[in-house]
Homo-oligomer: A and B are copies of this chain.
Amino acid sequence: MSDPVQAVALPHAVDVASVVLGAAQGALFASQVAKERKIDLVGIAMVAIATGLGGGIARDLLLNQVPAALQSNEYVSSALVAAVVAVGLSGAISRLDPLVVAFDALSLGLYLVVGLSKASSLGLGSVPSIFIGILSCTAGGVVRDLLLRTEVAMVTVGSFYAFAAFSGALVYMGLLQVANQGVATWMAVLVTFSVRMLSIWFGWSTPHA
Protein backbone atom coordinates (compact mmCIF):
# COMPACT_ATOMS: atom_id res chain seq x y z
CA MET A 1 0.00 0.00 0.00
CA SER A 2 2.84 2.38 0.82
CA ASP A 3 6.59 2.14 1.11
CA PRO A 4 7.20 0.88 4.66
CA VAL A 5 10.65 2.51 4.84
CA GLN A 6 9.22 5.87 3.95
CA ALA A 7 6.26 5.27 6.25
CA VAL A 8 8.59 4.46 9.14
CA ALA A 9 10.98 7.26 8.19
CA LEU A 10 8.24 9.87 8.44
CA PRO A 11 6.98 9.29 11.94
CA HIS A 12 10.05 9.86 14.08
CA ALA A 13 10.57 13.64 13.97
CA VAL A 14 6.87 14.25 13.37
CA ASP A 15 5.96 11.93 16.22
CA VAL A 16 8.24 13.72 18.69
CA ALA A 17 6.80 17.06 17.53
CA SER A 18 3.23 15.89 18.20
CA VAL A 19 4.23 14.59 21.63
CA VAL A 20 5.92 17.89 22.54
CA LEU A 21 2.97 19.98 21.35
CA GLY A 22 0.49 17.64 23.03
CA ALA A 23 2.35 17.67 26.36
CA ALA A 24 2.63 21.47 26.33
CA GLN A 25 -1.08 21.76 25.62
CA GLY A 26 -1.89 19.23 28.36
CA ALA A 27 0.24 21.14 30.88
CA LEU A 28 -1.43 24.48 30.04
CA PHE A 29 -4.89 22.89 30.21
CA ALA A 30 -4.12 21.22 33.56
CA SER A 31 -2.77 24.43 35.09
CA GLN A 32 -5.97 26.25 34.11
CA VAL A 33 -8.02 23.54 35.84
CA ALA A 34 -5.62 23.66 38.82
CA LYS A 35 -6.65 27.25 39.58
CA GLU A 36 -10.06 26.04 40.72
CA ARG A 37 -9.28 22.55 41.90
CA LYS A 38 -6.64 20.89 44.05
CA ILE A 39 -4.13 19.69 41.47
CA ASP A 40 -0.45 19.98 42.31
CA LEU A 41 2.65 20.44 40.16
CA VAL A 42 3.38 16.71 40.09
CA GLY A 43 -0.21 16.20 38.95
CA ILE A 44 0.21 18.73 36.15
CA ALA A 45 3.37 16.95 35.02
CA MET A 46 1.58 13.59 35.03
CA VAL A 47 -1.36 14.97 33.03
CA ALA A 48 1.02 16.61 30.54
CA ILE A 49 2.97 13.40 29.97
CA ALA A 50 -0.26 11.40 29.65
CA THR A 51 -1.70 13.92 27.16
CA GLY A 52 1.45 14.01 25.06
CA LEU A 53 2.12 10.28 25.02
CA GLY A 54 -1.44 8.90 25.30
CA GLY A 55 -2.30 8.94 21.61
CA GLY A 56 0.94 7.36 20.47
CA ILE A 57 0.86 4.68 23.14
CA ALA A 58 -2.77 3.79 22.32
CA ARG A 59 -1.84 3.62 18.62
CA ASP A 60 1.16 1.34 19.16
CA LEU A 61 -0.71 -0.95 21.57
CA LEU A 62 -3.42 -1.49 18.97
CA LEU A 63 -0.73 -2.21 16.38
CA ASN A 64 0.71 -4.77 18.83
CA GLN A 65 4.11 -3.09 19.13
CA VAL A 66 6.17 -1.87 22.06
CA PRO A 67 5.21 1.85 22.05
CA ALA A 68 7.72 4.07 20.23
CA ALA A 69 7.60 6.30 23.31
CA LEU A 70 9.35 3.56 25.30
CA GLN A 71 12.03 2.68 22.78
CA SER A 72 14.18 5.72 23.47
CA ASN A 73 14.64 8.18 26.32
CA GLU A 74 13.64 11.19 24.27
CA TYR A 75 9.84 10.91 24.22
CA VAL A 76 9.14 10.99 27.96
CA SER A 77 11.96 13.51 28.50
CA SER A 78 10.68 15.78 25.73
CA ALA A 79 7.14 15.61 27.11
CA LEU A 80 8.36 16.54 30.58
CA VAL A 81 10.54 19.41 29.32
CA ALA A 82 7.66 20.69 27.17
CA ALA A 83 5.37 20.59 30.22
CA VAL A 84 7.84 22.49 32.41
CA VAL A 85 8.52 25.11 29.72
CA ALA A 86 4.80 25.54 29.02
CA VAL A 87 3.93 26.04 32.69
CA GLY A 88 6.97 28.30 33.22
CA LEU A 89 6.03 30.49 30.28
CA SER A 90 2.29 30.26 30.86
CA GLY A 91 2.06 33.96 31.68
CA ALA A 92 3.60 34.84 28.32
CA ILE A 93 1.83 32.02 26.49
CA SER A 94 -1.65 33.10 27.63
CA ARG A 95 -0.94 36.37 25.83
CA LEU A 96 0.09 34.21 22.86
CA ASP A 97 -3.23 32.36 22.91
CA PRO A 98 -3.72 32.17 19.12
CA LEU A 99 -0.28 30.56 18.83
CA VAL A 100 -1.24 27.88 21.37
CA VAL A 101 -4.42 27.12 19.44
CA ALA A 102 -2.40 26.87 16.25
CA PHE A 103 0.13 24.52 17.86
CA ASP A 104 -2.75 22.37 19.10
CA ALA A 105 -4.32 22.17 15.64
CA LEU A 106 -0.91 21.37 14.14
CA SER A 107 -0.37 18.61 16.71
CA LEU A 108 -3.76 17.16 15.75
CA GLY A 109 -2.73 16.93 12.09
CA LEU A 110 0.75 15.55 12.81
CA TYR A 111 -0.49 12.88 15.19
CA LEU A 112 -3.12 11.90 12.63
CA VAL A 113 -0.69 11.31 9.75
CA VAL A 114 1.74 9.35 11.91
CA GLY A 115 -1.14 7.07 12.92
CA LEU A 116 -2.40 6.71 9.36
CA SER A 117 1.01 5.99 7.87
CA LYS A 118 2.01 3.53 10.60
CA ALA A 119 -1.26 1.61 10.30
CA SER A 120 -1.14 1.54 6.48
CA SER A 121 2.50 0.47 6.41
CA LEU A 122 1.64 -2.51 8.61
CA GLY A 123 -0.93 -3.60 6.04
CA LEU A 124 -4.12 -2.62 7.81
CA GLY A 125 -7.18 -1.82 5.70
CA SER A 126 -8.33 1.71 5.07
CA VAL A 127 -11.12 1.74 7.68
CA PRO A 128 -8.98 0.43 10.54
CA SER A 129 -6.19 2.83 9.47
CA ILE A 130 -8.57 5.78 9.73
CA PHE A 131 -9.71 4.45 13.10
CA ILE A 132 -6.09 4.29 14.31
CA GLY A 133 -5.35 7.75 12.90
CA ILE A 134 -8.28 9.40 14.67
CA LEU A 135 -7.60 7.49 17.87
CA SER A 136 -3.94 8.62 17.73
CA CYS A 137 -4.82 12.29 17.66
CA THR A 138 -7.72 12.22 20.13
CA ALA A 139 -6.73 9.65 22.80
CA GLY A 140 -4.28 11.97 24.56
CA GLY A 141 -7.03 14.55 25.08
CA VAL A 142 -9.44 11.89 26.32
CA VAL A 143 -6.92 10.68 28.91
CA ARG A 144 -6.32 14.30 29.95
CA ASP A 145 -10.06 14.89 30.42
CA LEU A 146 -10.53 11.65 32.37
CA LEU A 147 -7.63 12.42 34.74
CA LEU A 148 -8.86 15.99 35.31
CA ARG A 149 -12.54 14.97 35.41
CA THR A 150 -13.54 17.65 32.90
CA GLU A 151 -16.05 17.12 30.07
CA VAL A 152 -14.52 14.79 27.46
CA ALA A 153 -13.86 17.32 24.68
CA MET A 154 -14.03 14.68 21.96
CA VAL A 155 -17.71 13.91 22.55
CA THR A 156 -19.05 17.37 23.43
CA VAL A 157 -20.63 19.90 21.07
CA GLY A 158 -18.39 22.14 19.05
CA SER A 159 -15.14 20.38 19.78
CA PHE A 160 -14.84 19.60 16.09
CA TYR A 161 -11.69 17.63 16.78
CA ALA A 162 -12.87 14.33 15.44
CA PHE A 163 -14.42 15.95 12.38
CA ALA A 164 -11.21 17.82 11.49
CA ALA A 165 -9.26 14.60 11.91
CA PHE A 166 -11.76 12.65 9.82
CA SER A 167 -11.49 15.21 6.98
CA GLY A 168 -7.71 14.95 7.07
CA ALA A 169 -7.89 11.16 7.07
CA LEU A 170 -10.14 11.07 4.00
CA VAL A 171 -7.76 13.43 2.17
CA TYR A 172 -4.81 11.21 3.09
CA MET A 173 -6.53 8.02 1.95
CA GLY A 174 -7.78 9.64 -1.25
CA LEU A 175 -4.47 11.20 -2.27
CA LEU A 176 -2.58 7.99 -1.55
CA GLN A 177 -4.40 6.49 -4.55
CA VAL A 178 -3.23 9.21 -6.94
CA ALA A 179 -0.10 10.81 -5.46
CA ASN A 180 2.91 9.81 -3.38
CA GLN A 181 2.88 9.52 0.41
CA GLY A 182 4.63 12.85 0.96
CA VAL A 183 1.90 14.79 -0.83
CA ALA A 184 -0.84 12.84 0.95
CA THR A 185 0.82 13.44 4.33
CA TRP A 186 1.28 17.18 4.08
CA MET A 187 -2.09 17.82 2.44
CA ALA A 188 -3.74 15.83 5.26
CA VAL A 189 -1.90 17.91 7.89
CA LEU A 190 -2.93 21.08 6.07
CA VAL A 191 -6.61 20.09 5.81
CA THR A 192 -6.83 18.92 9.44
CA PHE A 193 -5.11 22.11 10.62
CA SER A 194 -7.33 24.32 8.45
CA VAL A 195 -10.64 22.69 9.39
CA ARG A 196 -9.74 22.93 13.08
CA MET A 197 -8.59 26.59 12.81
CA LEU A 198 -11.58 27.63 10.71
CA SER A 199 -13.97 25.92 13.14
CA ILE A 200 -12.53 28.03 15.95
CA TRP A 201 -12.38 31.22 13.86
CA PHE A 202 -15.99 31.02 12.74
CA GLY A 203 -17.31 29.36 15.91
CA TRP A 204 -18.54 26.34 13.94
CA SER A 205 -19.88 23.38 15.74
CA THR A 206 -21.04 19.97 14.60
CA PRO A 207 -24.84 19.39 14.61
CA HIS A 208 -26.36 18.83 18.03
CA ALA A 209 -28.26 15.62 18.59
Interface residues of chain A, those whose CB is within 8 Å of chain B, are: 30-31, 34-35, 37-44, 46-47, 49, 57, 61-67, 69-73, 75-77, 87, 119, 124-128, 130-132, 142, 146-149, 151-152, 154-160, 162-163, 205-209
Asked whether A66 lies within 8 Å of B64 as measured between CB atoms, the reply is yes
Q: Which 7 A-B pairs have the closest CB atoms?
A: A43-B155, A34-B209, A73-B127, A70-B128, A38-B157, A40-B206, A40-B157
Q: How far is the CB of A94 from chain B (nearest CB, A)?
A: 14
Point out the residues of chain B lying under 8 angstroms from A72, CB to CB. 125, 128
Number of copies of this protein chain within its complex = 3
| Cβ contact of A208, chosen from B41, B69, B130, cutoff 8 A | B41
Asked whether B156 lies within 8 Å of A209 as measured between CB atoms, the reply is no
A209 to B46, CA, bound (A): 13
Asked whether A44 lies within 8 Å of B209 as measured between CB atoms, the reply is yes
Asked whether B62 lies within 8 Å of A57 as measured between CB atoms, the reply is yes
A63 to B66, CA, bound (A): 6
Most buried by B among A64, A127, A132, A159: A127
Point out the residues of chain B lying under 8 angstroms from A157, CB to CB. 38-40, 43
Point out the residues of chain B lying under 8 angstroms from A65, CB to CB. 64
A34 to B157, CA, bound (A): 10
Asked whether B73 lies within 8 Å of A125 as measured between CB atoms, the reply is yes
Point out the residues of chain B lying under 8 angstroms from A207, CB to CB. 40-41
Point out the residues of chain B lying under 8 angstroms from A160, CB to CB. 42
